């Protein structure tokens, strides 16, 4: 109780002595305030605010004042309370505090750094004031000049300065960008290298990196330092889960940059990650499960860079590639997922894909999918299908994968209700049947598949699934050129979707639709006639030809299709009614030779038939 009674007296006394400057009693008053703050910070701060004494502090924070360190300490203590930060700014304390950053006295610098850091914490007004007073640059200059001194007092000061910059820029993109432009990144990386034995300072650097790494502009600066090496070195020394987690939080955003991916691989991060996986794979402790996930996710992220991926593939002989392969048959879902995603990432060029298919990866992925058919793990299904889709891209792999039975495995997921799985399933089948007439015919006569495709062509909420279903329908016709496939698609109600696809905003899809429709018209016009009519195909073709924005190949294929439709009486009549001749004769002078030629042929055909 004593302190609080004394406090009111102290505050009154301070008001008088601050003006009169009687040094002894002033020092006594300040000590009394610090003691009161130590006992009950919040209550004391409220009283300080109510007394109006903050304004007097500005005059006690001048370079000449013998109490500047003590007053800065008091400001640092009161600014721990959110309600005191704006009053400190309003009392004009920022400018004198920033001036004190030019002091040579270590204690003054320490308390000033604390005061400014606390005032900036979550306070827009505090940050603005420090920004206007130019505080950040002075602190960065100190960090640079004090960087190499490793005595404890100096490390404490460096930690406070790092903390101040953190509070100053946290979650504020423009202030973070300002610090990056002032060159804070190389300085912090150097600090981390020199003071890696100091836990508090290391932690501060990590938090700072974590914040700054979120900014795109920081990545290039990070890439020009040896941050990768320093972080991997630090990571190898950490045993505690929390510390490793902190390093992970910096590594993840940094590893989004391809240059840094390669540096991390060269610094040996992958070996660390593989070790973590090995240690944690059978544990059911919460922390270990988290670390396994973070480690394997990061591994997959490193494989997203072309150079880092190729370096780790090592022609398919690499230790890393082999280890990742062994994750696929494991019983741990997280590892199965990471393994499948890693294979999908390795499968980004033909050479790798061909090597992997020749070395039995397809069977491993099919086994994995078989384990996840019944209420399986959706992310694992999606990842394994992604890997198969990528592996199916090289022409030489298609027949091998078809004879391995990939389509049968993939079709087991037709009943899936999950759009991401549906999307990858469709993409995989489309890749597999590209220029594979027999497989396209087999799939195209599969009524269950075709009916599901027609259903998905109406999935308005999932543009990706809708687009892929349309593309697969068209591909089945284009690659099989089979009457039976066309009949199956007509019976399942697929024609209207192919006609709609001809109006897609993507030229490639429009084109695929027109080629498929031309095959339908050439092979099974009688069967499809009614559906083509009710889908208003002729009107759509007229629109495509009249529209100046249509690509040349769209105009060309639309005219080919018009000629093919002449074999149907009712469609022929529609063509005559729509004055196609005008549109077509204009295209005779089209700059594209093929279009102009086709226009002449089509015009002759229209004239003869009219």
Residue 292 pLDDT more than 80?
yes
Class of domain 221-342: mainly alpha
pLDDT per residue over 497-518, tens digit each? Answer: 999 999 999 999 999 999 999 9
pTM to 2 decimal places: 0.80
Gap between the Cα atoms of 468 and 471, Å rounded: 5
Q: Which structure tokens are listed for 461?
A: 């909420």
DSSP state at residue 62: S
Task: Kindly state the tokens that stand for 375.
Answer: 């209420």
What is the rounded distance in angstroms from the CA atom of residue 174 to the CA atom of residue 176?
5
**pLDDT value at position 581?**
87
One of 1.25.40.10, 3.40.50.720, 1.25.10.10, 2.30.30.100 is the CATH number of 37-191+198-213, namely 1.25.10.10
Secondary structure E strands in 464-511: none
pLDDT at 382: 95
Spatial distance between the Cα atoms of 68 and 555, rounded to a whole number of angstroms: 81
What's residue 1's pLDDT?
Answer: 34
Give me the pLDDT at residue 2, please.
39
Domains 37-191+198-213 and 221-342 share a fold: yes
Range picked from 51-60, 477-486, 544-553, 565-574 for highest mean pLDDT: 477-486
The answer to whether 426 touches 465, Cβ cutoff 8 Å, is yes
Extents of the domains making up the chain? 37-191+198-213, 221-342, 536-609
Q: For residue 534, what are its two tokens?
A: 């009710």
- Cα 259 to Cα 261: distance, rounded to the nearest angstrom: 5
What whole-number distance in Å separates Cα of residue 196 and Cα of residue 201? 8
Cα angle 350, 351, 355 (rounded to 5 degrees) comes to 115
Average predicted confidence (pLDDT) for the chain: 91
pLDDT over 80 at 609, yes or no: no
Share of the chain above pLDDT 70, in %: 96
Rounded to an integer, what distance in angstroms lies between the CA atom of residue 281 and that of residue 283? 6
Strand residues in 530-572 grouped as ranges (E): none
């Amino acid at each position: 109780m004593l302190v609080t009674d004394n406090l009111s007296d102290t505050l009154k006394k301070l008001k008088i002595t601050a003006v009169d400057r009687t040094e002894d009693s002033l020092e006594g008053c300040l000590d009394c305030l610090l003691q009161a703050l130590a006992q009950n910070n919040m209550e004391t701060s409220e009283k300080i605010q109510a007394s109006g004494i903050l304004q007097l502090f500005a005059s006690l924070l001048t370079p000449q004042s013998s109490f500047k360190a003590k007053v800065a300490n008091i400001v640092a203590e009161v600014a721990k309370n959110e309600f005191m930060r704006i009053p400190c700014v309003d009392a004009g304390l920022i400018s004198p505090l920033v001036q004190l950053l030019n002091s040579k006295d270590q204690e003054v610098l320490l308390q000033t750094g604390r005061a400014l850091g606390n005032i900036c914490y979550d306070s827009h007004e505090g940050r603005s004031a420090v920004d206007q007073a130019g505080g950040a640059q002075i602190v960065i200059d100190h960090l640079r000049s004090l960087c190499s001194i490793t005595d404890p007092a100096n490390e404490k000061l460096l930690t406070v300065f790092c903390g101040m910059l953190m509070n100053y820029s946290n979650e504020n993109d423009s202030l973070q960008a300002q610090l990056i432009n002032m060159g804070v990144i190389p300085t912090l990386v150097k600090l981390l290298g020199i003071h890696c034995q100091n836990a508090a300072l290391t932690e501060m650097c990590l938090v700072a990196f974590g914040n700054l790494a979120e900014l795109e502009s920081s990545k290039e600066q990070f890439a020009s330092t040896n941050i990768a090496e320093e972080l991997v070195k630090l990571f190898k020394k950490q045993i505690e889960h929390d510390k490793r987690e902190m390093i992970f939080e910096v590594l993840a955003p940094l590893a989004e940059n391809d240059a840094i991916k390669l540096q991390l691989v060269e610094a040996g991060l992958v070996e660390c990650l593989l070790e973590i996986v090995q240690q944690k794979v059978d544990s059911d402790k919460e922390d270990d499960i988290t670390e396994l996930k973070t480690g394997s996710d990061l591994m997959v992220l490193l494989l997203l860079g072309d150079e880092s991926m190729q370096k780790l593939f090592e022609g398919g002989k690499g230790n890393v590639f082999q280890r990742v392969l062994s994750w696929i048959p494991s019983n741990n879902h997280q590892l199965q997922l990471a393994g499948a995603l890693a294979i999908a990432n390795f499968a980004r060029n033909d050479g790798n894909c061909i090597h992997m298919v020749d070395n039995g990866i397809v069977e491993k992925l099919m086994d994995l999918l078989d384990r996840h058919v019944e209420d399986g793990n959706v992310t694992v299904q999606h990842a394994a299908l992604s890997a198969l889709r990528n592996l199916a891209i090289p022409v030489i792999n298609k027949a091998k994968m078809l004879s391995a039975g990939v389509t049968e495995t993939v079709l087991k997921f037709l009943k899936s209700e999950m759009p991401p799985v549906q999307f990858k399933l469709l993409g995989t089948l489309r890749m597999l049947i590209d220029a594979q007439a027999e497989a396209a015919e087999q799939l195209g006569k599969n009524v269950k598949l075709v009916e599901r495709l027609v259903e998905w062509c109406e999935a308005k909420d999932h543009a990706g699934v809708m687009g892929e279903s349309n593309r697969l329908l068209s591909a089945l016709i284009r690659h099989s050129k089979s009457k039976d496939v066309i009949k199956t698609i007509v019976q399942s109600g697929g024609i209207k979707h192919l006609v709609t696809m001809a109006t897609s905003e993507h030229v490639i899809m429009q084109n695929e639709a027109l080629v498929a429709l031309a095959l339908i018209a050439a092979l099974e016009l009688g069967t499809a006639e009614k559906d083509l009519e009710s889908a208003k195909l002729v009107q759509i073709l007229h629109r495509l030809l009249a529209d100046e924005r249509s690509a040349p190949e769209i105009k060309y294929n639309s005219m080919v299709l018009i000629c093919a439709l002449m074999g149907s009486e009712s469609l022929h009549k529609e063509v005559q009614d729509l004055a196609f001749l005008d549109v077509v004769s204009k295209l005779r002078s089209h700059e594209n030779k093929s279009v102009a030629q086709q226009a002449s042929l089509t015009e002759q055909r229209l004239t003869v038939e009219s």
